[in-house]
Structure 1
Amino acid sequence: MAAKLTNSRKTPCELCPLRPLPHFREFTSEELDFVSDFKKGELTVDPGAIVLLEGARSAHLYTVLSGWAFRYKTLLDGRRQILNYVMPGDLVGLQGSITGEMQHSVEALSTVTLCVFERTQLHTLFSRYPSLAYDITWIAAREERILDEHLLSIGRRTAIERAAYLLAFLAQRAKALRMVEGRVVLPITQQHVADTLGLSIVHTNKTLKKLADRGAIVWRDRSCDVLDEEALKAVSGWEGLEEKSRPFI
């Protein structure tokens, strides 16, 4: 499945649909002018397509404008570990911009639209716009904090606690980004859950059935309806993400 690059900016930064959301901080006029020039186009990626490949070098980095994706690593025998999920406002490809090549891959879960930025302009951002440079540092630190929680979940939570945590985490993020209307529908399969939690597909199926029996979720063919986010938090012992306003590029 091929990604399609649109050289013209379909969505002007001034009219970005993410900017009005209270989840994100506002740009100053000077920052907005720079980001508008920094953006070189948009990339449309079909579900199942690879956005970035582990070991590859890319001249670009991206901000997710819409859609769902996930970051993962693969062992030599093909076993996959999903590291985290990518949603609107998230920065993708920064690792490759700093280290020279990607240490993980990124795959689209749904149709994804990405804002495309030239990696070579990062130096200008850091040298002339310290507030935006701080934003990138903040984004990287936040990703580390989330990965800490994911590692704790895999290492110490039981199977049902892991599953409840993951679904509550994704539901909270989707609601904050207004990616859902009414009920929360997560576009993931049981295989995605298994690859995130480090469980077999059989164990994952049995675990999700326990959550469904409690009325917390309804599992469908290629999605999960979250019916009771608070119940999922209670099962996992997770209090949720404490964020008022976060930056994005």
Structure 2
Amino acid sequence: MAKNGKLSAPRTKCSACPLRKREHFRDFAVDELDFVSSFKTGELTADAGATILVEGTHSAHLFTVLDGWAFRYKILDDGRRQILNFILPGDLAGLQGSLMGEMQHSVEALTPLTLCVFERGRLGSLFSGYPDLGFDLTWIAAREERILDEHLLSLGRRSALERAAYLLAFLNRRARSAGLFDNGRKKMLPVSQQHFADTLGLSIVHTNKTLRKIAARGLVRWLDRGCEVLDEDGLCKIAGWTDSTSGKRPFI
């Protein structure tokens, strides 16, 4: 369980889940909703900086992000960190450990985080009794692979400017789809320049110079604890990136 996290009984009923109100997510059938309601055993709240899952450990749980930001990462022996992807509302954390035995990466809360908690031991009943939900898990895993393909393309072939533009556009689009800009919230990506450097595979100095170039073009504005994207289309144009994702996506 997460360090510095607090586990409680479910406070958000699945039937009233705010994610179900988002057009971005597909809805559950009645029997699926009943199962997911029983599958969920609690909610975990964590402060920014809390470790949710640790590489090399076994976890009895998997999680769906209900609110907030987190990220997946690996660390080399000398302390260098590579951020693999960011985790937003509707995303699963811990599926790898649930299916493969142990985690091959760690997960940290980027902001205050609320997660729905599910018991790993009940995954079998999900696949056997609710094949459409089993397909949803497969879809989620395939989508993660697709995202990592794009990230790998950035690291391998995009210039520093293109990498940064892609990441900014990608995060902004995902945050908007997940509802993180709704209800009067700031349209801010709570990602520091160090997080960008650790994702882009660049030094902090190179990252700073690159992000300043993007800001100078009026595409983003840096705030106290993150940045605001001002021109998402302009970022996509620099990166040569078109988001081909369409239709509703599942979540558990």
Q: TM range, normalised to the smaller chain?
A: over 0.9
Q: Corresponding residue for 1:63?
A: 64
Q: Corresponding residue for 1:133?
A: 134
Q: Corresponding residue for 2:181?
A: 180
Structure 2 residue matching 1:184: 3-state secondary structure: coil
**Is the aligned partner of 1:98 residue 2:83?**
no
Contact 1:44 1:113 in 2 (8 A): yes
**Is the aligned partner of 1:225 residue 2:220?**
no
- Choose which of 240, 243, 248 in structure 2 pairs with 1:245: 248
Q: In the alignment, residue 205 of structure 1 is paired with which amino acid? A: N
Q: Corresponding residue for 2:82?
A: 81
Output the CA distance in 2 between the equivalents of 1:172 and 1:19: 19
Q: In the alignment, residue 243 of structure 1 is paired with which amino acid? A: S
Q: Cα gap change, 1:3/1:86 in structure 2, threshold over 3 Å: closer, same or farther?
A: same
Q: Corresponding residue for 1:53?
A: 54
- Choose which of 2, 5, 15 in structure 1 pairs with 2:7: 5
Output the CA distance in 2 between the equivalents of 1:221 and 1:76: 32
Output the CA distance in 2 between the equivalents of 1:118 and 1:143: 21
- Cα deviation 1:8-66 (Å, max 9, x = unaligned): 21000000000011100010000000000000000001000100000111100000000
Q: In the alignment, residue 224 of structure 2 is paired with which amino acid? A: D
The alpha-carbon deviation at position 218 of structure 1 amounts to: 1.1
Contact 1:135 1:248 in 2 (8 A): yes
- Choose which of 231, 235, 240 in structure 1 pairs with 2:238: 235
- The normalised TM-score by structure 1 is 0.98
Output the CA distance in 1 between the equivalents of 2:165 and 2:115: 29
The alpha-carbon deviation at position 219 of structure 1 amounts to: 1.6
Aligned residues: 248
Contact 1:43 1:113 in 2 (8 A): yes
The alpha-carbon deviation at position 247 of structure 1 amounts to: 0.3
- Cα deviation 1:133-186 (Å, max 9, x = unaligned): 000000000000000000001100000000000000000001111211476310
Contact 1:55 1:103 in 2 (8 A): yes
Structure 2: runs of 5+ lacking an equivalent:
none
Structure 1: runs of 5+ lacking an equivalent:
none
Q: In the alignment, residue 41 of structure 1 is paired with which amino acid? A: G
The alpha-carbon deviation at position 240 of structure 1 amounts to: 1.8
Output the CA distance in 2 between the equivalents of 1:219 and 1:51: 28
Contact 1:184 1:227 in 2 (8 A): no
Q: Corresponding residue for 2:121?
A: 120
Q: In the alignment, residue 139 of structure 2 is paired with which amino acid? A: W
Structure 2 residue matching 1:185: 3-state secondary structure: coil
Q: Corresponding residue for 1:190?
A: 193
Output the aligned Cα RMSD.
1.0
Q: In the alignment, residue 234 of structure 1 is paired with which amino acid? A: K
Contact 1:42 1:115 in 2 (8 A): yes
The alpha-carbon deviation at position 241 of structure 1 amounts to: 4.3
- Cα deviation 1:190-241 (Å, max 9, x = unaligned): 0000000000000000000000010001123320111110110011000124
Q: In the alignment, residue 96 of structure 1 is paired with which amino acid? A: G
- Choose which of 200, 209, 212 in structure 2 pairs with 1:209: 212
